[in-house]
Structure 1
Amino acid sequence: MADRFRITLGQLNPTVGDLAGNAALAREAWQAGKEAGADLVALPEMFITGYNAQDLVMKRAFQLDVMTHIEALAADCADGPALAIGAPWAEGTALYNAYLILKGGKIASRSLKYNLPNETVFDEVRIFDAGPLGGPYSVGNTRIGSPICEDAWHPDVAETLEETGAEFLLVPNGSPYYRNKMETRMNVMVARVIETGLPLIYLNMIGGQDDQVFDGASFALNPGGQLAMQLPAFERQITHVDLERGPEGWRVVQQDLAHLPDAWEQDYRVMVLGLRDYMHKTGFKKVLLGLSGGIDSAIVATIAVDALGADNVRCVMLPSEYTSQDSLDDAEAVAKALGCRYDYVPISEGRGAITNTLAPLFEGHEPGLTEENIQSRLRGLLLMAMSNKFGEMLLTTGNKSEVAVGYATIYGDMSGGYNPIKDMYKTRVFETCRWRNANHRDWMMGPKGEMIPDRIITKPPTAELREDQKDSDSLPDYPVLDAILDILVDQNGSIEDCVAAGFERDIAKKVEHLIYISEYKRFQSAPGPRLTKGAFWLDRRYPIVNRWRDPS
Structure 2
Amino acid sequence: MKLALAQLNPTVGDLAGNSQQILKAANTAASQGARLLLTPELSLCGYPPRDLLLNPSFVESMATTLGKLAEDLPPSLAVLVGTVEKNPKAQMSGGKHLFNSIALLERGKVQQIFHKRLLPTYDVFDEKRYFEPGLESNSLTLDGVRVGVTICEDLWNDEEFWGKRNYQVNPIADLVQQGVDLLVNLSASPYSAGKQQIRESMLRHSARRYQQPILYVNQVGGNDDLIFDGSSIAFNRAGEKVCLLPAFETNLAIVEFDEAVPDLLPAKVAAMPTSLDEEIWSALVLGVRDYTHKCGFQKVVIGLSGGIDSSLVAAIATAALGAENVLGVLMPSPYSSEHSIIDAQALVDNLGIISHTLSIKELMQGYDQTLAPLFTNTEPGIAEENIQSRIRGNLLMAISNKFGYLLLSTGNKSEMAVGYCTLYGDMNGGLAVIADVPKTRVYSLCKWLNSRTDKKVKNVQDSTQQEIIPANILSKPPSAELKPGQVDQDSLPSYDILDDILQRLIHDHQGAAQIIAAGHEPEVVKKVLKMVARAEFKRRQAPPGLKITDRAFGTGWRMPIASKW
Tell me which interval the TM-score lies in, with the shorter structure as reference length: over 0.9
Q: Which residue is 1:42 aligned to?
A: 38
Among 118, 123, 126, the alignment partner of 1:123 is: 126
Q: Which amino acid aligns with 2:264?
A: V
Q: Does 1:14 align with 2:10?
A: yes
Matched with 1:472 is: 489
Deviation at 1:329, TM superposition (A): 0.5
Does residue 96 (structure 1) correspond to residue 99 (structure 2)? The answer is yes
Report what 1:516 is aligned to.
533
Amino acid of the structure 2 residue aligned with 1:121: V
Contact 2:5-2:232 at 8 Å conserved across structures:
no
Partner of 2:419: 406
> How many angstroms does 1:527 deviate by?
1.3
Q: Please give the alpha-carbon distance, in whole angstroms, between the structure 2 residues aligned to 1:348 and 1:481.
A: 33
Residues 21-30 or 351-360, more deviating: 351-360
**Correspondent of 1:453 among 466, 470, 476:** 470
Match of 2:114 in 1: 111
8 A Cα contact 1:403 1:422, kept in partner? yes
- What's the counterpart of residue 299 of structure 1? 312
State the alpha-carbon separation in 2 of the partners of residues 123 and 42 from structure 1: 24
Q: Which of residues 458, 463, 468 in structure 1 aligns to 2:480?
A: 463
Instruction: State the AA in 1 paired with 2:552.
Output: A
In 1: Cα distance, 2:105 partner to 2:549 partner: 36
Distance in 2 (alpha carbons) for counterparts of 1:501 and 1:157: 40
Candidates 428, 436, 449, aligned match of 1:436: 449
The structure 1 residue matched to 2:231, chosen from 217, 230, 237, is 217
- Confirm or deny: 8 A CA contact 2:449 2:458 kept in the other structure: no
Note the C-alpha offset of 1:458.
1.1
Return the alpha-carbon distance in structure 1 between the equivalents of residues 483 and 360 of structure 2: 14
Of 34, 58, 64 in structure 2, the residue corresponding to residue 68 of structure 1 is 64
For residues 507 and 552 of structure 2, the distance between their equivalents in structure 1, rounded to whole angstroms, comes to: 8
Q: State the one-letter code of the partner of 1:539.
A: G
Cross-structure match for 2:161:
none
Identify the match of residue 162 of structure 1 among 160, 176, 194.
176
In structure 2, what is the equivalent of residue 271 of structure 1? 284
Distance in 2 of aligned mates of 1:139 and 1:58? 34
Which has the higher mean CA deviation after the structures are superposed, 380-389 or 92-101? 92-101
CA displacement at 1:91 relative to structure 2:
2.2
- Return the alpha-carbon distance in structure 1 between the equivalents of residues 296 and 6 of structure 2: 24
User: What is the DSSP-based 3-state SS (H/G/I as helix, E as strand, rest coil) of the residue aligned with 1:395?
Assistant: strand
In structure 1, stretches of 5+ residues that fail to align are none
Aligned partner of 1:256 in structure 2 is: 268
- Residue in 2 aligned with 1:421? 434
Checking the alignment, whether the CA contact within 8 Å between 2:331 and 2:358 is kept in structure 1 is yes
Q: Tell me by how many angstroms 1:191 deviates.
A: 2.1
| 1:168-207 correspondence to structure 2 within 5 Å | 168-207=182-221
Q: CA deviation at 1:179?
A: 1.0
Task: Tell me which stretches of 4 or more aligned residues in structure 1 moved more than 6 Å.
Answer: none
Structure 2: give runs of 5+ residues left out of the alignment: 91-96, 159-169
| Amino acid aligned to 2:402 | K
Aligned-residue offset at 1:36: 1.7
In the TM superposition, what is the alpha-carbon distance from 1:80 to its structure 2 partner? Answer: 2.3
How far 1:272 sits from its partner (Å)? 0.5
Structure 1 equivalent of residue 163 of structure 2: none
Q: Which amino acid in structure 1 is aligned with residue 157 of structure 2?
A: H
Q: Does 1:497 align with 2:514?
A: yes
Map of 1:281 onto structure 2 = 294
In 2, the alpha carbon distance for the partners of 1:85 and 1:541 equals 32
Deviations along 1:288-344, one digit per CA (max 9) or x if unpaired, are 111001110111111110111110001111011100001010000000110011111
Does the alignment pair 1:237 with 2:240? no
C-alpha distance in 2 between matches for 1:374 and 1:116:
47
Q: For residues 531 and 490 of structure 1, what CA distance do their matches in structure 2 show?
A: 12
Distance 1:54 1:497 in 2: 37
Match of 1:536? 553
What is the percent sequence identity of the aligned residues? 41
> In structure 2, do the counterparts of structure 1 residues 260 and 138 end up closer, same or farther at CA, with 3 Å as the change threshold?
same
Does the 8 Å contact 2:418/2:531 carry over to 1?
A: yes
Deviation at 1:78, TM superposition (A): 6.1
Instruction: Please point out which of 141, 146, 149 is paired with 1:143.
Output: 146
Tell me the CA shift for residue 443 of structure 1.
5.5
1:194 positional shift: 2.1
Who is 1:353 aligned against? 366
Write the letter of the residue equivalent to 1:358.
L
**Preserved contact between residue 138 and residue 150 of structure 2 (Cα < 8 Å):** no
Deviation at 1:133, TM superposition (A): 3.0
- Count of residues paired in the alignment: 542
Matches within 5 A, 1:293-332: 293-332=306-345
Taking structure 1 as the reference length, what is the TM-score of the superposition?
Answer: 0.96
Give distance in 2, aligned partners of 1:319 and 1:545.
36
Deviates further, 42-51 or 524-533? 524-533
- The answer to whether the 8 Å contact 1:10/1:238 transfers is yes
Secondary structure of residue in 1 paired with 2:313: helix
For 1:529, the aligned partner's letter is: L
**RMSD value over aligned CA atoms?**
1.2
Partner of 1:26: 22
State the 1:538 CA deviation: 2.0
**Are the aligned partners of 2:26 and 2:74 in contact in 1 as well (CA < 8 Å)?**
no
Q: For residues 519 and 313 of structure 1, what CA distance do their matches in structure 2 show?
A: 31
